[in-house]
Amino acid sequence: MATNQLSPKVFACSQSVELAEEIANAYGTELGKLTTTHFSDGEFQPAFEESVRGRRVFLIGSTFPSTDNLMEMLLMCDAAKRASARHITAVMPYFGWARQDRKDKPRVAIGAKLVAKLLEAAGATRIMTMDLHADQIQGFFEKPVDHLFASTIFLPYVESLELDNLTIASPDMGGSKRAYAYSKYLESDVVICYKQRQKANVIAHMELIGEVEGKSVILVDDMIDTGGTLTKAADLMMERGAKSVRAICTHPILSGNAYERIQNSQLTELIVSDTIPLKKSVSKIKVVSCATLFADVMHKVQDNTSISDQFLM
C-alpha cells in the first residue's frame, strides 16, 4: 500500500483518555497502544507500542494544568517524530496557557507563544484546537492551525430549548465578538457586561450595557475558571429583571470553589463541552460532547478536504 494511503493512528494523552476514546469511536477506529513509564521522582516517559512509521498520528490531549499535561503532549510529539511519523497532529481541545497571549504589564512572559514554539520544536506539524482564548494565538504558529468553534455543538442545543425573548450576553468586553456571532445566528439581542478587575479572578465592579428585563439570557464565554464573573453577571441580570440566565462556556476549568458557586448561583444552567473532564457531577452543569466535531475534522484533514462546512457561523 502506498505511504499516503496508510490509515492514521490515534493516541490519547492520559488526561484526555475518555474524550479520546469517544473521538476515536466517532472516527471509526480504536486508540493506539501507548505505555507510560513513571519514575519515583515524578518524571515520566510515554512510548508507542505500535509502529507509526509513515503515518499521520493524531495525539489527543488538552493541556490544562498541571504542566505535566503539556509535557506529556510534547513528549508524545517528540516520540512520534523520532518514530518517523509522516504527519503529527496535536489535537488539543483545550489549549492551555492561552490567557498569556500578550504582555499586559512589564516583565511578564507570553506563555501562549512559548507553548506554540515548544509544540513545533517537539515535532507537531499541525495543531487542532477549539475556542482559543484569543484568535491571534493562531499567528503564533508557523504550522497550520485548525481552530474549531464550539458554537457548532452548542447552537443546536440552544435551539432545542425554544426560549422566549432570547438575548445573548457577553460577560466582558473581550467576548463581545463571540456574543455577536451567536446573536446573529439566533437573530437575538445582545447585552454586554463591563467589568473591572481588582486582580486575577477577582472582580471589583461590574455594569450591564443593555436591557434584560423579561429576557431569557444566555451568557457566552470561552472558558469558566472560578465562576466569579458568570455568577456575578447572572446576579446582576436577575436584579435587572431577567426571566432566566444560562451560560455557555466551552472549557470547564472550574477551579477553587467553582462547583459550589455555580450550584448556589442564580444560573439556571451552565452548558459546557467535554474538553476538560469534570471533577464532580453537579445538577446545574450540562455537558455537550465535542467528540463528533473533532472526529469529523480529523477525517477531513486526513482526506485533505475543506473543513469550512463545520462552521455554523
Judged against a pLDDT cut of 90, whether residue 207 lies above it is answered with: no
Judged against a pLDDT cut of 80, whether residue 195 lies above it is answered with: no
The whole-chain average pLDDT of the chain stands at 93
Judged against a pLDDT cut of 90, whether residue 4 lies above it is answered with: no
pLDDT tens digits, 13-43: 999 999 999 999 999 999 999 999 999 999 9
Judged against a pLDDT cut of 60, whether residue 191 lies above it is answered with: yes
> What backbone torsions phi and psi does residue 298 show, to the nearest 5 degrees?
-60, -40
Q: Which of the residues are catalytic? A: 195
Rounded-to-integer distance, Cα 192 and Cα 312, Å: 22
Of 89-98, 140-149, 168-177, minimum mean pLDDT range: 168-177
Domains 9-148 and 151-289 share a fold: yes
Q: Write down the domain spans for the chain.
A: 9-148, 151-289
Judged against a pLDDT cut of 50, whether residue 57 lies above it is answered with: yes
pLDDT band with cut points at 50, 70 and 90 for residue 194: confident
pLDDT band with cut points at 50, 70 and 90 for residue 305: very high
Architecture of domain 9-148: 3-Layer(aba) Sandwich (3.40)
The grid coordinates listed for 259 are: 462547583
**What would you report as the CA-atom Rg of the chain, rounded to the nearest whole angstrom?**
20
Q: Can you tell me which residue has the cell 510515554?
A: 46
Judged against a pLDDT cut of 90, whether residue 175 lies above it is answered with: no
pLDDT tens digits, 212-235: 999 999 999 999 999 988 999 999
**Is 78 exposed, middle or buried (CB count within 10 Å of its CB: 0-12, 13-18, 19+)?**
middle
pLDDT band with cut points at 50, 70 and 90 for residue 310: confident
Q: For residue 188, which of 207, 160, 169, 208 has the smallest C-alpha distance?
A: 169
pLDDT tens digits, 114-145: 999 999 999 999 999 999 999 999 999 999 99
Per-residue confidence (pLDDT) for residue 308, from 0 to 100: 87
Mean per-residue pLDDT, 50-66: 97
Amino acid at 180: Y
CATH no. of 151-289 = 3.40.50.2020
Q: For residue 131, which of 174, 98, 109, 89 has the smallest C-alpha distance?
A: 98
Judged against a pLDDT cut of 80, whether residue 278 lies above it is answered with: yes
DSSP states of the chain as a string? Answer: --GGGSPPEEEE-GGGHHHHHHHHHHHTS-BPPEEEEE-TTS-EEEEESS--TTSEEEEE---PSSHHHHHHHHHHHHHHHHTT-SEEEEEESS-TTTT--S--STT---HHHHHHHHHHHHT-SEEEEES-SSGGGGGG-SS-EEEE-THHHHHHHHHHH--SSEEEEESSGGGHHHHHHHHHHHT-EEEEEEEEEEETTEEEEEEEES--TT-EEEEEEEEESSSHHHHHHHHHHHHTT-SEEEEEEEEE---TTHHHHHHTSS-SEEEEESSS--SS--TTEEEE--HHHHHHHHHHHHHT---GGG---
